[in-house]
Structure 1
Amino acid sequence: MNKVLVEIFLPAANRSFDVYLPLESKMSEVLVLVSTLLSDLSDGKYKAMGNPVLCDTSSGIIFNINMAVAELGIQNGSKLMLI
């Protein structure tokens, strides 16, 4: 399987969303897709603009945008936060 199912918390909307992330894609590509998707799903509470940041919810570690999802250790059930 080349995708993982993660939970992304969006503080701007105070909601979490389940999203599939492609393991081979770089985080920079994933950020563009995820921020656009969550902008649509949040009913305008989050606007996809600027430089979004995706981090690990429990540790607060910000993911390196130059690495692939698989290289970052993201796996099924990972809990992330989009700021």
Structure 2
Amino acid sequence: MNKVLVEIFLPAADQSYDVYIPLESQMSEVLTLVSTLLTDLSNGNFKAMGSEVLCDAETGIIFNINMPVAELGIKNGSKLMLI
């Protein structure tokens, strides 16, 4: 499985987390996995509700959840934000 290491900023916890995400997965699957993971890692500062979005942390552009990660231009070192 091809994976990339990204940094995900979580404003609710004012923390960033390094996370490996699979390139071949749909962004909708990755969003579910990341939301669950950061719920656990944030020590109660964030709770996944199902309405979260992942966006590019630098531009604010929201990623299309219907596309594979590989087609979204996400690569090692990309900075994302979960809101």
Same fold (TM over 0.5): yes
Runs of 4+ in 1 over 3 A off after TM superposition: none
Aligned-partner Cα distance in 2 for 1:10–1:60: 13
Q: For 1:21 and 1:48, locate their aligned partners in 2 and report how far apart those are by CA, in whole Å.
A: 18
Q: Within 1, Cα distance between the matches of 2:17 and 2:47?
A: 16
Partner of 2:41: 41
Q: Report the residue type matching 2:51 in the other structure.
A: N
Instruction: Tell me the number of residue pairs that the alignment of Structure 1 and Structure 2 aligns.
Output: 83
Residue identity opposite 2:3 in structure 1: K
In the superposition, the TM-score normalised over structure 1's length comes to: 0.98
Q: Percent identity?
A: 80
Secondary structure of the residue aligned to 1:5 is: strand
Q: Deviations over 1:16-73 (max 9, x none)?
A: 0000000000000000000000000000100011311000011000000000000000
* SS of residue matched to 1:6: strand
Q: What residue number does 1:53 align with?
A: 53
- Segments of structure 2 that go 5 or more residues without pairing to the other structure are none
> Which structure 1 segments of 5+ residues have no match?
none
**For residue 79 of structure 2, what is the aligned residue in structure 1?**
79
Q: Superposed, which structure 2 residues align to 1:2-17 within 5 Å?
A: 2-17=2-17
Cα distance in 2 between the residues matched to 1:71 and 1:64 = 10
SS in 1 for 2:36: helix
Q: Which residue of 2 aligns with 1:20?
A: 20
Q: Return the letter of the residue paired with 2:17.
A: F
Q: TM-score under structure 2 normalisation?
A: 0.98
